[in-house]
Chains A and B, each alone.
Chain A
Amino acid sequence: MKSRHAEPAWMRVVVAVAVKDLRIEFRTRARSFTMAGFVVLVGVLFNYSIDQTLVRPQEIASGLTWITLILSGLIGVGRTFTIEARDGAFEGLLLTPAPRDAIYLGKVIANFLLVYAIVLLTVGVFGIFFHLDYGNHPLALLLCLAAGTLGFVALATLFGALTASTSLGESLLPILLFPLLVPMVVYGASASGRLLAGRPITEVMGQMRMLTAFAVLALGAGAALFGQIVED
């Protein structure tokens, strides 16, 4: 019998890694519960940090949502590789011939679904807490948040893998990540802010394009460089 030298199919690795991560998350709920709790409690704190006789929540909800996305995302994505590190599971994964960029994209997909679910929760909870009016284009708003989430997750997954193997750990993640997130916050908060203010979609097309460009660039760079980070 000849040894099996099959090449793992790229797309199958992507899917298998994503399914594996989501299955583990579904069973342990290690990240989703803390993230969901975080979002609700941040909403409570925001409520008491806003003097509603001075500012209308509708006007600042956009910014709050993006900041909440980043902070709750940090909690979730930052832990991806800590979970993987248990019992050397990730090391075992790296001992297989599975292409590194496929592993990265699989993890990005799983993280995206997790973080985006939390973003949807944020939109719902803030909507109820602050009596927000999501206006005429709620779908455009969700789309713009999706593009932002994708860019965020693409960078955070890459740097999460990096910081997980440093002595500073997750505390290093914001230092590396935040400067790079400026374009996402600028275009994202502007787009969602205008949508919340009831402006027409045509006014946010430019920002949406830039958000998408940011996500695509982050994904490409992440897929190309992930191997350099996880290999010892």
Chain B
Amino acid sequence: MKGRTGWIGVALALAGVAMSLVTLWLVFFRVGTDFRQGIVQRIFYLHVPAAWVAFMAFGIVALASAVYLWLGDERADMAALSAAEGGMVFTAIVLTSGPLWGKIAWGTYWTWEPRLTLTLLLGFIYVGYMMVRRATESPERGKRFAAVVGIIGAINIPLIHMSVYWFRSLHPDPVVLKPDGPTLDADMLQTLLVGLVAFTLLFTGLMILRYRVERARHALDIREAT
């Protein structure tokens, strides 16, 4: 592992793993059980941080895509790709944990809950992003196409969000970011925040490592071509 970013990536990823273990310990042994929802509420501490990371990752994809189209810098595209792959993993976590919780809390795997629907559509936008990359003859063109998909997706997500919210909302009301302050118990909030930090670190570390792999691949491509 050469270079500083590599070590930063390893350090962040390890910190993320460690924090995730702490989160799991808190979730299973420390935090109090929600008296209304029961034990299943504990999924919340993984579900919400994963959702946060999934959407943050798409923000990175869109920003890096815009930079790539604007400056044509390969590194921006590598960052976008790394963020997209990481984002897909966390989207998958949201889309598995959500229905599992829903089955017990609501008695059904799927409801047209706006945030869940939005995450499903986000997942499809990620899928489109990845498919477009691989579907062109020239890789450079695929990168540009993917960047366009990323940008249009990012422009559209707020609209999708508004529309699916407007359509129907069954989801429990937001419990953290409310105007009159969080209504979560202190230990629950603590666990959630630890989870948020853990997943963010984990994602950032993995993204940096993935980025390094992509750069190495790129360097190899150039060496082979000449």
Knowing A183-B159, A183-B162, A186-B164, say if A176 contacts B149 (CB, 8 Å): yes
A19 to B2, CA, bound (A): 59
Q: In the complex, are the beta carbons of B159 and A166 less than 8 A apart?
A: no
A6 to B140, CA, bound (A): 32
Q: In the complex, are the beta carbons of A214 and B135 less than 8 A apart?
A: no
Q: In the complex, are the beta carbons of B162 and A210 less than 8 A apart?
A: yes
Chain B residues within 8 Å of chain A by Cβ, number: 32
In angstroms, how far is the closest chain A Cβ from the Cβ of B91?
12
Knowing A162-B148, A221-B152, say if A175 contacts B131 (CB, 8 Å): yes
Main secondary structure of the interface of B (DSSP, over half): helix
Residues 111-164 of B contacting A (Cβ, < 8 Å): 117, 121, 124-125, 127-128, 131-132, 135-138, 141-142, 144-145, 147-149, 151-153, 155-156, 159-160, 162-164
Cβ of B135: which chain A residues have Cβ within 8 Å of it?
166-168, 172
Say yes or no: is A182 at the interface (Cβ < 8 Å to chain B).
yes
Indicate with 1 or 0, residue by residue over B73-97, a CB within 8 angstroms of chain A CB atoms.
Answer: 0000000000000000000000000
Knowing A162-B148, A229-B148, say if A176 contacts B160 (CB, 8 Å): no
Knowing A172-B132, A228-B144, say if A178 contacts B124 (CB, 8 Å): yes
Cβ of A183: which chain B residues have Cβ within 8 Å of it?
156, 159-160, 162-163
Contact of B121 among A179, A210, A229 (CB under 8 A): A179
In angstroms, how far is the closest chain A Cβ from the Cβ of B105?
25
A190 to B163, CA, bound (A): 11
Q: In the complex, are the beta carbons of A176 and B164 less than 8 A apart?
A: no
Residues 177-232 of A contacting B (Cβ, < 8 Å): 178-180, 182-183, 186-187, 190, 210, 213-214, 217, 221, 225, 228-229, 232
List 6 A-B pairs, minimum CB-CB distance, nearest first.
Answer: A166-B135, A183-B163, A186-B163, A179-B121, A179-B124, A183-B159
